[in-house]
Chain A
Amino acid sequence: MKISLVSACVLAAALAGPARAANDAKDDYERPYHVEDGKVDQSVYNGYRRYGNSCLQCHGPDGLGSSYAPNLTESLKHMTHEQFSDTVINGRQNVTASQQNVMPSFGHVEDVVMYLDDIYAYLKARSDGVLGRGRPERMLKK
């Protein structure tokens, strides 16, 4: 019960994303990463780890896809932040005679929903080509 309450709140927060106060709020929302000299902020770094926990088993190392799940560095070139959040939270099924692709719903998974924006930030940085493969290096805390 507790978990689903937390999820609901975070979910609401995620959907209310554009309420960020920055001038270029739209840009920050679609490109919420900070990468300097190959080093990443805490959000991207955490996204990398959470990706490793919950997504890598299907989508492969560095978001590059596997023999049965899409390459997310490609997907995020034409998927908005909102579509991304929606797919992760609700899942997606594409089961036909020739393929059986099922993305489970992560809407009630604390480690995914809590850090959904971090996972997005990491994958978007990969997709935009500003972050290479492998374990990113963290910026020093200022």
Chain B
Amino acid sequence: MLRRTALAIALAFSATAGSTVASANDELLKLQKDPNQWVMANGNYASWRYSPLNQITRENVGQLRPAWQFSTGVLRGHEGGPLVIGDVMYIHTPFPNRVFALDLNNPGRVIWRYEPTQDPSVIGVMCCDTVNRGPAYADGKIILSQADTTLVALDAKTGKEVWKVKNGDPAKGETSTMSPLVVGDKVMVGISGGEFGVRAHVTAYNLKDGKLVWRAYSVGPDSDILFDPQKTTEMGKPVGANSSLKTWEGDEWKIGGGGTWGWISYDPELNLIYYGSGNPGTWNPSQRPGDNKWSMTIFARDANTGVARWVYQMTPHDEWDYDGVNEMILADNVEVGGQRVAKTLVHLDRNGFGYTLNRENGELLVAQKYDPVVNWASHVDMKTGRPQVVREFSTGSGGEDNNTQNICPAALGSKDQQPASYSPKTGMFYVPTNHVCMDYEPFRVSYTAGQPYVGATLSMYPPKGEDHMGNFIAWDAGKGKIVWSKPERFSVWSGALATAGDIVFYGTLEGYLKAVDVKDGKELFSYRTPSGIIGNVNTFTHKGKQYIGVLSGVGGWAGIGMAAGLGGDNEGLGAVGAYKALSDYTQLGGVLTVFALPN
């Protein structure tokens, strides 16, 4: 353990000395620490979604009320959340990907609006609704990754286009939903399309002019995935040559997926970016023997060159669609086994395991279930890092056309992209989760460019004998234990926000914005917004007063199936009286709601 600390310090020094952080965008490094603004999607580079603001507290949050609202005029699912830079709030919508700059001095007045012209045929190749998780801000620009993969930089003052570049090809099923991250003088952005047999990548573009700097694929030859066979490590060992190619048969890697549609985090001291990759090619595991590296993987890459420092594959040879794209939360001084670890990465994966790693070298420290119903694997072998798959729930072991039942979690994961919050004040992680299980039957499919490449049928339902499909939990990432768990009728599909007021905010699919006590999850506030919330909560001040902002507008993955209700007619759901279809609770419609305490 001591040795680990020494190594960590040595690594930290060498990284700082060797990198060119000095050329980075210092503006953003400073702004991300200013609690009065909200300058990047997850609050700061470490993706904490935490605010030291403390005007709204455990004691007074019950008096919170809407200050003003704004309709986006778009019906589909509104993921992501507002940015606040100075006196201006920036919000966005799903396709057609409008962006509004709103004047906080004159609440809701539109300073400018931008709506790109996109071929609507892209809508048909977006897997799960036309969501978008919002733009990034840097250097006087708002950078938006449109559905059709156009990355566009807008002048933050006027909304005029500064530059535009095409990051992918929707004709091949490549689309975009993610929020880009600006690191130094580069914009980092990924690709969606795991259900269309794309081969995804993360690409860095020049912030100044949109010129491509580096591109790192998730699967393929070392030169494509930017791996150094000797220096890139997994579980402390060099990965060796062709680490991806040798885990695929034939040319299957060319349609190998590994979608990069989640969140990117950044550690300025190590100059490393962190993100995860999604499912490999088809959902039918029999069509792709091997570990299918580096799908379902956490990547740590040098921000300047894109070269991978370390990787960790959480779900080798996926058989359940457990994309590894969820946010990477960079927490410091987490206590693991009685020792403080200076720099950790905490990741609550779709596969139901909460991972804690040393983010300097990728050492695996903790891997524990964060929903007790998770059953596809008994545990993670801490020596090899591999999950111990339970044969009964392996969808590949029975081969094609064999239905595997009662797998937990379902394909949407114990948690999807909806980002958790980390409070450095309590040291706890506050996690929106899904509590859903599934039957999964793989079958053979053929690949056609730009068409769904799925190859499995699924049915999803709440865990047997239970009547709720979500929990909002507090997670101890050092111990790998649930501290408290608050049940919710539906999956919690909203990004959380913890504050120094000892409260955590999140939204529900019925449309409630809630605030709960950090210590026990007790509900202190709830307000019904006009539609279900799949957006992420933020906070900021304006003229010295603290506000809370959130987009409502149901849709996304949550809008599939939950619109009609999960589960079959004959599954005994009648006995579970509380369970009803989401459509009985909410309808579509994008609205921003800004909350404040009464004056």
The finding on whether chains A and B are genuine partners in a shared complex, rather than unrelated, reads: yes
Interface residues of chain A, those whose CB is within 8 Å of chain B, are: 3, 48-49, 51-54, 56-58, 60-62, 64-68, 71, 91, 93, 95, 97-104, 106, 108-112, 132-135
Known: A67-B559, A68-B76, A110-B446. A53 touches B124 (CB 8 A): no
Cβ-neighbour of A132 out of B75, B77, B460, B569 (below 8 A): B569
Interface membership of chain B positions 427-458, coded 1 if the CB is closer than 8 angstroms to chain A and 0 otherwise:
00000000000010101011010011011111
Known: A100-B123, A100-B130, A104-B125. A53 touches B76 (CB 8 A): no
CA distance A95 to B95 in the complex (A): 11
Segment at the A interface, from B205-213, B310-318, B560-568: B560-568
For B561, the chain A residues whose CB sits under 8 A away are: 60-61, 64, 66
Contact of B130 with A68 in the complex, beta carbons under 8 Å: yes
Contact of B569 with A99 in the complex, beta carbons under 8 Å: no
Closest residue on chain B to residue A103 by CB atoms: B124
For A56, the chain B residues whose CB sits under 8 A away are: 457-458, 560
Question: Would you mind naming 13 contact pairs between A and B with Cβ atoms under 8 Å apart?
Answer: A49-B457, A52-B454, A54-B451, A57-B128, A57-B452, A66-B563, A68-B75, A68-B559, A102-B124, A109-B448, A111-B445, A134-B568, A135-B459
For A109, the chain B residues whose CB sits under 8 A away are: 448, 451
Nearest-Cβ distance from residue A98 to partner chain B, whole angstroms: 7
Apart from the given pairs A61-B566, A98-B73, 13 other A-B contacts in the complex at a CB distance below 8 Å:
A49-B443, A52-B454, A53-B455, A56-B457, A56-B560, A57-B560, A67-B555, A68-B129, A102-B121, A104-B121, A133-B570, A134-B568, A135-B441
CA distance A90 to B446 in the complex (A): 20
Known: A67-B563, A68-B129, A68-B555. A3 touches B448 (CB 8 A): yes
Total number of A-B contacts with CB less than 8 angstroms? 126
CA distance A60 to B128 in the complex (A): 10
Interface membership of chain B positions 544-584, coded 1 if the CB is closer than 8 angstroms to chain A and 0 otherwise:
00000000001100011101111111110000000000000
Closest residue on chain B to residue A101 by CB atoms: B123
Known: A66-B563, A100-B76, A109-B451. A53 touches B570 (CB 8 A): no
Complex A-B, nearest 9 residue pairs according to Cβ-Cβ distance, in ascending order = A134-B568, A67-B559, A104-B124, A52-B457, A64-B564, A102-B123, A133-B568, A132-B569, A66-B560
CA distance A49 to B561 in the complex (A): 16
Listed residue (A3, A57, A66, A134) with the most chain B CB atoms within 10 angstroms of its CB: A66
Contact of B451 with A71 in the complex, beta carbons under 8 Å: no
Contact of B75 with A98 in the complex, beta carbons under 8 Å: yes
Cβ-neighbour of A66 out of B195, B460, B559 (below 8 A): B559
Q: Is the interface of A mostly helix, strand, loop or mixed?
A: mixed
Interface membership of chain B positions 452-492, coded 1 if the CB is closer than 8 angstroms to chain A and 0 otherwise:
10111111100000000000000000000000000000000
CA distance A57 to B125 in the complex (A): 10
Listed residue (A61, A104, A112) with the most chain B CB atoms within 10 angstroms of its CB: A61
CA distance A3 to B449 in the complex (A): 12
For B459, the chain A residues whose CB sits under 8 A away are: 61, 134-135
Interface residues of chain B, those whose CB is within 8 Å of chain A, are: 73, 75-77, 95-96, 120-121, 123-125, 127-130, 195, 403, 439, 441, 443, 445-446, 448, 451-452, 454-460, 554-555, 559-561, 563-571, 588
Known: A68-B130, A135-B403. A54 touches B452 (CB 8 A): yes
Nearest-Cβ distance from residue A86 to partner chain B, whole angstroms: 16
Listed residue (B77, B452, B459) with the most chain A CB atoms within 10 angstroms of its CB: B452
For B455, the chain A residues whose CB sits under 8 A away are: 53
For A64, the chain B residues whose CB sits under 8 A away are: 561, 563-565
For A132, the chain B residues whose CB sits under 8 A away are: 568-570
Contact of A48 with B457 in the complex, beta carbons under 8 Å: yes
Closest residue on chain B to residue A94 by CB atoms: B120
Contact of B564 with A71 in the complex, beta carbons under 8 Å: yes
Known: A99-B75, A100-B120, A134-B570. A62 touches B451 (CB 8 A): no
CA distance A81 to B554 in the complex (A): 32
Contact of B554 with A67 in the complex, beta carbons under 8 Å: yes
CA distance A61 to B561 in the complex (A): 6
Known: A91-B124, A106-B451, A132-B569. A57 touches B559 (CB 8 A): no
CA distance A57 to B555 in the complex (A): 12
Nearest-Cβ distance from residue A30 to partner chain B, whole angstroms: 24
Cβ-neighbour of B564 out of A48, A65, A98 (below 8 A): A65
Known: A53-B457, A65-B563, A71-B564. A111 touches B123 (CB 8 A): no
For B460, the chain A residues whose CB sits under 8 A away are: 61
For A106, the chain B residues whose CB sits under 8 A away are: 451
CA distance A96 to B559 in the complex (A): 21
CA distance A48 to B448 in the complex (A): 20
CA distance A98 to B559 in the complex (A): 18
CA distance A48 to B592 in the complex (A): 39
Known: A67-B77, A71-B564, A102-B120. A61 touches B458 (CB 8 A): yes
CA distance A99 to B75 in the complex (A): 7
